[in-house]
Amino acid sequence: MNFDEITRLLSEKFGSDVIIEVQTAGLQPALIINPNSIIPVCKELRDNKNTWFDFLSCLTGIDHGLEQNKFSVVYHLASIPHKHQLVLKVIIDHDRNLDSLPSFISVSDVWKTAEWHEREAFDLLGIQFEGHPDLRRILLPDDWEGYPLRKDYIAAEEYKGIKIKE
Amino acid sequence: MQVKKTRYDQLTENLKPEEMIINMGPQHPSTHGVLRLELITDGEIVKEVIPHMGYLHRCFEKHCENLTYQQIIPFVDRMDYLSSMNNDHAYVMGVERMMGIDKSIPKRVEYIRVLVCELNRIASHLIAIGIYGIDIGAFTPFLWCFRDREHIMNMLEWASGSRMLYNYIWVGGLFYDLPVGFEERCSEFISYFKPKLTELNQLLTDNQIFIARTAGVGILPLDVAINYGCSGPMLRGSGLKWDLRRTDEYSVYPELEFDIPVGKGEMGKSGDCWDRYKVRADEIVESIRIVEQCLERLQKELKRGPEFDPRAKLPKKIIPKEQDFYIRAENPRGELGYYFISDGKTEIPKRVKARAPSFNNLSVLPEITRGVLIADLVAILGSVDIVLGEVDR
């Protein structure tokens, strides 16, 4: 199935509001999916024998920068039987308030790969994943303050009495 | 606000009287680096494994926000430090495709890239096999593997000037052409190495003690492997013919002949530790085949000439168009991916995310080690073949 057929399949199955935008500008076209319907979309893409995206290559959390106040998660899917790839994106607005983190729905039920990748996104970007079974920091220490890959992150002066900055 | 309990809390808070928590690592000889495994054990039986990593986190993605595309290459070297050439190759291919110059790379450059990548793959698998022997308790293979790997290290040092972290493959070309006489020395090495490989096979592959320790241990079913995003020898060990060198047909791999070894469960069940070991051992043979073909072409139709300049196609400024792009390539450990976001204005990428194969391969460890003996856990972890520089980035 090519990209247009997948787009048609999804909008026929879940209605036209499931795909918010179709990005075809770059080398790899992408579908921007409604944040609330990411789970049924992913399950359909995985279980439908025509698409059969059984392999989640990569899951990336992105901070869009200070002007935009947006966060997004990008899913790179691959199909081993059909050898095709697909990019899904979910974008939500968020005001960077540290008391309530931007919240996405976890796809770790669909692909277990997502479990550690979502922990990484939570760790480095402060993105919450609803329904994740084990959302803890993964690369940084458990008591680290702040989320380093956010564009407004200021590195701490010291950590437990150890000077970080020169 | 009630904080939801994570699975980690549930596991560690409700221990039964007979259960005990044991820490394995971060300084432990068989965790292959600074990995800490928290084990919930009942006597000798492992009930649950909880990996803790991040001890080698060097903020790769944060550094990328401040470096140009060319400056990132040395940082890429330091991710999977046992196969730097392969890391470079994947990264450079991604940038070249974004720039739209991937089709105009000279053939000789591409063949040199593949040659050094495959040499590095052999070196990486030699370490994987040698260290795995040590994990199991066989000391000799380790020494033999390191003796042979040293020849590859010397050759790559001759080409690039560095022993492990090469920075040799550049966007649009190479750092230098191969040194004069490299092809001959490489052919000499191949003819020296082939009999040594037979010896190594006699030492490990047919070794009854080694088979007893690895066959039927740590069976990874294929559907679990795919669901957890395992790739490389982990996935092929479970019996699936999946190699991105063939699937994506990047670089000059379509012009080269090689097979994809898969695990068949010869000694135990398909997807056990022995299968994963065997896939690596067979891949060395396939890599030798690729190296031989590359050498032949580099010495005949793509012979070095005075007019050849490996830096001829180097872009003056690397500013890709505004886009995002995901590149994947076959590393010795599996699918290595880079996700770039370029804003189209500067030489500095907006975001680079690395999808490390070891990171995903390690995530399946808790799943396949439930209920095994502690000694088997060491055998299973060794067969996953992780590099912590890549897990932690």
**pLDDT 10s digits, B54-65:** 888 988 888 888
Q: Is the pLDDT of residue B287 over 90?
A: yes
**What tokens were used for B262?**
């898969």
pTM for this prediction: 0.90
- What's the rounded mean pLDDT across residues B67-89? 90
Question: So what's the pLDDT on residue B118?
Answer: 92
Best A113, A147, A152 residue to mutate vs chain B (most B CBs within 10 Å): A113
- Tally Cβ neighbours within 10 Å of residue B289: 15
Contacts of B367 in chain A (CB under 8 A): 112
Residue A77's nearest CA partner among B125, B226, B35, B75 is B226
CA of A38 vs chain B CAs: smallest distance (Å): 18
Q: What integer is the mean pLDDT of B371-391?
A: 89
CA distances from A164 to A49, B270, B291 (A): 52, 48, 45
**pLDDT score of A97:** 79
Residue B12: the pLDDT is 81
Distance CA B109, CA B107 (A): 5
Per-residue pLDDT at B11: 81
**Option in B6, B62, B359 nearest A134 (CB):** B6
Q: What is the mean pLDDT of chain B?
A: 88
Are A138 and B54 a contacting pair at CB < 8 A?
yes
Distance between the two ends of chain A, CA-based, in angstroms? 54
CB contact under 8 A, A133 and B341: no
Test the A interface: residue of B248, B353, B361, B364 with most A CBs within 10 Å: B353
Q: Which two tokens stand for residue B62?
A: 């944060």
- pLDDT, greater one: B38 or B305: B38
Helices (H), chain B: 7-13, 60-64, 69-77, 84-99, 107-136, 140-160, 182-203, 208-214, 222-227, 233-237, 244-247, 273-299, 357-362, 365-368, 374-384, 388-392
- Percent of chain A at pLDDT > 70 equals 99
Residue A166 burial (C-beta neighbours within 10 Å; 0-12, 13-18, 19+)? exposed
Interval A76-95 mean pLDDT: 89
Per-residue model confidence (pLDDT) at position B3: 64
Please report, to the nearest 10 degrees, the dihedral formed by the alpha carbons of residues B338, B342, B348, B351 taken in order. Answer: -50
Tokens encoding B359: 């990171």
**Chain B residues within 8 A of A124 when measuring between CB atoms:** 61
**What whole-number distance in Å separates Cα of residue B262 and Cα of residue B343?**
41
